[in-house]
Amino acid sequence: MFSRFNCALLLIVSLCTSTILSANDVLEEIVVTAGFRDTELMKSAGSISVLDEQLIKDRAARHFDETINTLPNVNFSVGGTRARFVQIRGVGDLEQFVDPKHFPSVGITIDDVEVGTTATGAVLMDIDQIELLRGPQGTKFGANALAGIINIRTQQPADTFSGHIETGYGNFDSWHIGATLSGPLSDSVQGRIAVQQNKSDGYYKNEFLGRDDNNERDELSVRAKLRWSADNGAEVNLTASYADLDGGYDAFSLDNVRSTLSDNPGNDKQETTALAMKASMPVLEGITLEGVFSWRDSDEDYAFDEDWVFSGFCDGVRCDPLFEFSSTDELLRSSDVYSIDVRLKSDPARLAWVAGIYAQKRNEDLQRQHFGPFSSDYETERYAIYGELVFELADNLNLTAGLRYEHFEDKYNDSNTLITDSTDNYWSGKLSLEYLAGENTLLYGTLSRSVKPGGVNTETSSSFPFITASFQPFLLSRQQFSAETLFNKEVGIKARYLNDKLALRLSLFHMDRSNAQLESFVWDANTFIFTGFLDSTSDAENYGAELEVTYQANDQIELFANIGYLETSVDELTIFDLDTSQFITRSNREQTKAPNWQYNLGLNLDLSEKLHGRFEIEGRDKSFFGYYHNGQIGSYTLAHASLTYQIGDFNIQAWVRNLFDDDYQVHGLYFANDPRDGFAVNRSYYQFGEPRVYGMNVSYNF
């Protein structure tokens, strides 16, 4: 592994040092749209990363989880067919079972629709760019962005008639086909429609059933957009989308291999329909009224085989006849989310301002079948007022102050007679100072604060009738969890050097987490029940740095390096330790899914006007995946490459990810689940990331 890393570095360095700089080779400017105003990336305070359309194509990415691991201090959790939750700087949710996670710590939006816990639907179709803003983004997004926000922006309708057709095939019987059509419908209306179908057998085999498609991906996505523009500057954008995702989930085995023995393979299905309308119009000279309305309806079916083997697995094996355990778990979840956001904002001036109101209503119903039926209903309402002021203190010095006050209400009831009704009020905001030291250097310092609401650990309620009595007092004390407050201090520099050939972004941060909401578990070996809950009894600390560098060496070669460093700790957390079978308190423990190092290094090659290539390596340090044990997800280094050739309006691409076919882990469990040793030995069990995958894509533009 280390030798591959060194070889890749030597290749990059040699290509860099052998080039001759040209005065015309400069880096393209990138615009960030996630804020209240579109802003150049190099002039935006805060640690921000942008993945553009070209990078997505070069990686042949079909889902956002195949791209965001290029970013410093960003991680994701799978636990299903696709990634569902993201961690930024070590802060983020890990998985979801019974509990209604009203607000993930990292928000994800697609064309102004809040995706929330349905991020498995973040299929990359007709994408313009992916924007990631680290640190609390509370002024605009409130409780939706405790650790940051991922804003996925799709292509806008075109002013002239155009289209795109693409298809491709790869190993594991993977294929996709898609088409986009865009153009004017009248003098003032443009439209765009995109359709895409992805299909793959997945990367596991089920030896018992004789199948290789038990982790299949069958993803249909449709999106339609309309844009209407008036002569007075008014504009209305409408987006409608539909996603039907049929995935299998059978990823764990007793021997930690890619072959399973389940007799009831699970699934990870989702059907989502969403609508969004964004409108803007001038109301007074220098003042614009903006409004965003969104609606999302999702139905999810998540199921898995708990024992991972077939009935009769113990026949003729040394565990016979003492141990036989067979169980499945299925969760059917439906949710509706409505939101409206209306604001007034001034044109940029020495004093620019934004003032707005926000409202959201969310309903979620759950039906669970696990040792009997369980059902729950959950409703939340949020109302907020917010504002932001940008003061131009001098020609090269700006002060930004933002504040958001939010009111939160929720109601919950379930079939175990748990009924809760609560309200809360909290505030978020930021204070940022930006200093333009010359035309190409921005220095900034930011203080930001956000709050993630508290709630009830409903999974403890669903487990109470079945779990051993000795665990009940502890779980009862964790029945509720408090609101978490995250306070972030950050300084950074964004600069261009060498006649704009070199772009550099460096940020240093320190975060205090008060009542940190940490995902913990109790494993009851007597009843084979895992009970997950959020524990907010401890504070925590996160600090580190992000460095992103892009160097346009000449017309042919662009080099890039993205590096993240992270230190995390939890003050004190009481857990039930599986290896000692007792409750203990861990002090100064690193947080889960928070590797100390992450990196993505590589180069883009424009070998001619028609031939484009990309080579990159990415890697990360090991990290814990739970607090109730010391198991870790291992470190890894992966290599990816692609080569694209243009023939007129056709593009032909050959691509490969995980070039050296390394086994690496994306999710982990730790407990005793093997009947061959009488369920007496705790082990780490892993879900693996994709092996070597490769294929060919062909596209046609017209």
- Confidence class for position 17, pLDDT limits 50, 70, 90: very low
For residue 449, with 0-12 CB atoms within 10 Å meaning exposed, 13-18 middle and 19 or more buried, which class applies? buried
Domain 2-701 has CATH 2.40.170.20: yes
> Does the pLDDT of residue 6 top 50, yes or no?
no
pLDDT at 531: 87
Q: Please state, in angstroms and rounded to a whole number, the distance separating the CA atoms of residues 268 and 248.
A: 6
pLDDT tens per residue across span 662-681: 999 999 999 988 988 888 89
Average pLDDT, the chain: 91
The ranges assigned to domains in the chain are 2-701
Q: Please state, in angstroms and rounded to a whole number, the distance separating the CA atoms of residues 32 and 36.
A: 10
pLDDT at 261: 95
Q: Is the peptide bond before 321 cis (omega within 30 degrees of 0)?
A: yes
pLDDT tens per residue across span 530-543: 888 999 999 999 99
CB 692 within 8 A of CB 661: yes
> Does the pLDDT of residue 469 top 70, yes or no?
yes
**H or E element that contains 5:** helix 2-17
> Does the pLDDT of residue 201 top 80, yes or no?
yes
For residue 423, with 0-12 CB atoms within 10 Å meaning exposed, 13-18 middle and 19 or more buried, which class applies? exposed
pLDDT tens per residue across span 90-106: 999 888 888 887 678 99
> Does the pLDDT of residue 577 top 50, yes or no?
yes
Higher pLDDT: 343 or 323? It is: 343
pLDDT at 312: 85
* The 3-state secondary structure of 425-492, one letter per residue: EEEEEEEEEEEECCCCEEEEEEEEEEEECCEECHHHHHHCCCCCHHHHHHHHHCCEECCEEEEEEEEE
> Does the pLDDT of residue 1 top 50, yes or no?
no
Q: Please state, in angstroms and rounded to a whole number, the distance separating the CA atoms of residues 360 and 383.
A: 7
Mean pLDDT within 128-144? 93
**Which residue in this structure is represented by tokens 């709630």?**
455
CB 156 within 8 A of CB 93: no
Higher pLDDT: 181 or 144? It is: 181
- Confidence class for position 322, pLDDT limits 50, 70, 90: low
Mean pLDDT within 212-218? 94
Mean pLDDT within 512-518? 97
At position 89, the amino acid (one-letter code) is R
> Does the pLDDT of residue 622 top 50, yes or no?
yes
18 CB neighbour count, 10 Å cutoff: 9
For residue 549, with 0-12 CB atoms within 10 Å meaning exposed, 13-18 middle and 19 or more buried, which class applies? middle
> Does the pLDDT of residue 38 top 70, yes or no?
yes
**Which residue in this structure is represented by tokens 């309305």?**
293
Question: Would you say the C-alpha torsion 180, 181, 182, 186 has a positive or negative sign?
Answer: negative
- Confidence class for position 83, pLDDT limits 50, 70, 90: confident
Instruction: State the pairing for strand pair 351-369/328-346.
Output: antiparallel
pLDDT at 304: 94
pLDDT tens per residue across span 222-275: 999 999 999 999 999 999 999 999 999 999 999 999 999 999 999 999 999 999
pLDDT at 118: 79
pLDDT at 21: 36
pLDDT at 326: 82
pTM reported for the whole predicted model: 0.92
| Alpha-carbon distance values, 28 to 40, 57, 501, 561 (Å) | 11, 17, 9, 16
pLDDT at 27: 54
- Confidence class for position 620, pLDDT limits 50, 70, 90: very high
